[in-house]
Every structure is written in structure tokens, then in C-alpha cells.
Structure 1
Amino acid sequence: MIEILSPSEITRARATGALVGRILQTMRERTQVGTNLLEIDEWTKDMILEAGAKSCYVDYAPSFGDGPFGHWICTSVNDAVLHGMPRDQVLADGDLLTLDLAVILDGIASDAAISFVVGQERDPEDTALIETTRRALAAGIEAAGPDARLGDVSHAIGQVLSVAGYPINMDFGGHGIGTTMHQDPHVANDGRPGRGLRLRPGMLLALEPWIMVDTDELVTDPEDGWTLRSVTGARTAHIEHTIAITADGAEIMTLAPGASS
């Protein structure tokens, strides 16, 4: 299903997106060396419930997961890149953490993710990984707009990732979003320009480039049946925004307060 949202629904989408951006910003500010992933999950739960919103993850049970996810936010550390299930793990200096969050507020969903390094230790490879993913997302957003093709967006993302030398996995990518979290169309992180669905004002898309340093292959963590890790144990990064296609281009819905991108 591909939804075209009304102007009033787009207004509600802005409120949902602002909430997602604010929660992710707050989690980043609170997270430090010694923070437990389960603390992040609990803080997120508190903010979602306080806002009168609903988690998209607690009851989420797709075919590729091992039963309902049962948590409020995805916490992926180092070699984990997608669907990181919160566990009793304390973060160390230099850990690369991805937080992925989706909620529904007033009937409209929004989805975003951030990657950052915890503490003071910085590996230049981690910095490059995160910055490349940010640039890929920015390129995808720039390519999105009325009458653009879905392939234009995928190609823009893929060009940044491939030129930087990172392998691209095509199994998981972005997606349509609206009254539910996951909708058509699938937005691959590489593609051919001029091909695919023509974008229309009122569409919401969650764009989410993600990469692993030296592989495009994933393995599911056998302990939780959810967390997807790089098969080589390589570090990873994942950054996501929900955008609305407008008459003029694309509007980012999930910016944190005071953020510009």
C-alpha cells in the first residue's frame, strides 16, 4: 500500500517527526560511557508514553524476526547495524552506537535513526563511516521531490556510498510510511536513475542508508533472533530521516529541535 497523505495528515506527521527527533536527541545527550542499553530503552519508553504516543516496535513481529520485538528502541552497537535488540550491555569508550526509533502519534508514524561514537575515543574510520552515511542520506533527500523517480533517490544514495568504497546491501533499505510504519515502496540504497515509481506530493518516505566497513553480508544474532550484524564483525553505521514529498521538493519530518539536517 502506498498512501498519499492530506495536508492535515502532513501537519500531524510533522508533530510525530518532531517527537522522534526530540527523543533521539535526548537519548544521544544522555548516553555516555557506562550507560546500559536497557536504560536507553527505558528512557525511550518514558518519553513515548509521556507524549501520548505509541511504539512501533514493542509488538512488531515480521517474518524475519524471532517473535515480537518487545522493546521501544533499536540499539545497535559496533558490528550490529539493524534491529539491535536492547540487552544488558554497558557501553564503553569508543563504542559506535546506532539508535533507531519509530513511533505513532495521532495516527501517523515517523521513523529515524542516528549513529554516533560514545565517549571520547575516536577512530578515524568510524568518523568516515558515519559522515559517509550522512552524506548519502542528504543526497537522497536532495534527489527526492515531485516527479522524481524512486530510482533517482536510490541512485543518489548509492553513488555516495559506492564512491566512498563501501559495499551496499540491497536486502534492507528505506520504505514508505504513513498510518503504519512499513509500507510500499521499498527504497533501495542503490538504483538506476530515471526508473521506478514517480514521487508525488503527500508521500512520506523513510530514507535510511546504512553500511558496513568491508562487507554487504549480514548475520542474525543467534542470542536474540533480531539483531543484524556484519558477517565479518566490521563496524557499521545507519542514519535515517522520514521525509514528506512536497510541491517544492522534500521536507525532513524528523529533525531534532534546533537541528538543520
Structure 2
Amino acid sequence: MARGVSKFLEFTSAGSQFVFGGLADPAVMSNVFPGGLVFAFTALPTIIFVSSFFTVLYYLGILQFVVRLMARAMIYLMRTSGAETLSAAANVFMGQTEAPIIVKPYVARMTQSELLAMMVGGMATIAGGVMAVYIAMGADPVAILTTSVMAAPCGLYLSKLMLPELEEPATRGEVKVAVERTHVNVIDAAAAGASDGLALALNVAAMLIAFLAFIAFFDYILGSINPNLSLSRVFSWVFAP
């Protein structure tokens, strides 16, 4: 499965190399600098492709079917409600802002414990597009896929430890996926998904620029106090087990 995911993500290069040319080809760029991976032209386009692909799957109802199967398994094993479990399962493939759309009709009737579970599930997982970026950068696909799937039930488990269910959920034992058809056809869905992916890719790039600059800034300040000090070293002391 991991090899299949890696092969699937390689198709992104067909589009990115057409648009960016050699800048999106690590083999060409390796002649310029070691590694040859230009993040903006190699990794970020995978977000656009994966977002477009998932939007098509959502339009066709395939994504909802897979999410429903995962949710049924978790409901049977964990005895959680349908709404919170659907949201947790959707977070494996979708982002934190897109996953709650599946349970949008039930959000107003969610208990406090269900709302916390939905938010924890979003924080515990990563969007499919970001997952693709990690794999494109050379991360182990098996590790990425395994941890992403495991994060869904683990997020539910930890949220219930923090705030146990004391009320009766409206969707106890139910698995109903709300499907909102916002696209005219498959082409429209693919185009809309690409636009959403572009916004996410630009957001990722902006965050990386800002936060890496902040890290360099704090490293400079700490280094002026003591040459052996850096932000990563301070955090290693603070978060050491």
C-alpha cells in the first residue's frame, strides 16, 4: 500500500514539471545543489494534486464510503457516538477544517465531550495533502500512513479521558454521512479541489517562511548570549523525558 501511495504521488511531477520545468525535477536540480529538491516546486504541488483528487472522491461518494467503514469499526470497538467517530475517521484523509463538514448537520446537537473529541481528532491528524508533502520529502510512507490511521482512535481515546461522556449523544450507534453536493460534475470538483489545494499550499509556504525566520532570529539572540545556545537546544532541555 505504501508503495502504491508513493507511486500515486509521483504523478504530481507530470503537472509540476510541465509548469515549472527543471525546477520541479530533482534529477536536474541535483546538478545545481546536493539533493536537488526545491520544496516549493516539488513538495507543495503534491498538496494541489491530492486536494483535487480527494475532492473528486468526495463528489463521487467514495470518500464517504471509506470513512463510514472506518467509523463503523471504531464505533463497534470503542462505543463512541456516530458524529464524533465520523469526524475522527474523516480527519485521516481530510484537513481539520474540511472533516467537520461531514458531520455539519449534527454539530449543533453535539455534547461537550463530542465537540472536544472532534477538535482533538483534528489536532491529532494531518491533512492528506500535508501527508503527501512528507512522503514527497522522503519520509517513510509506511510510518506516515500508520501513524495517521492510528491517530484517529487515539485522539478519541485521549479526548474521552480528558472529558468523559456524561450526556446521551444524539447519534449514539449511528453512522450517517451527510453529503453536500456543491459541484456540478467531476471536472468542476477537480478544479475546485485544485483551487483549495493551492490556497493550502500557499499557506504552508507562508508558515514555513515565517516560522523558520523566527527560529533563525531566536537562534541569533541566544547565540549572542552563549555560542552553544540555540532554540532547539533549549527545547531539548525543556521537553526532555
Q: Which TM-score band (shorter chain)?
A: under 0.3
Higher strand share: 1
TM-score (normalizing by structure 2): 0.24
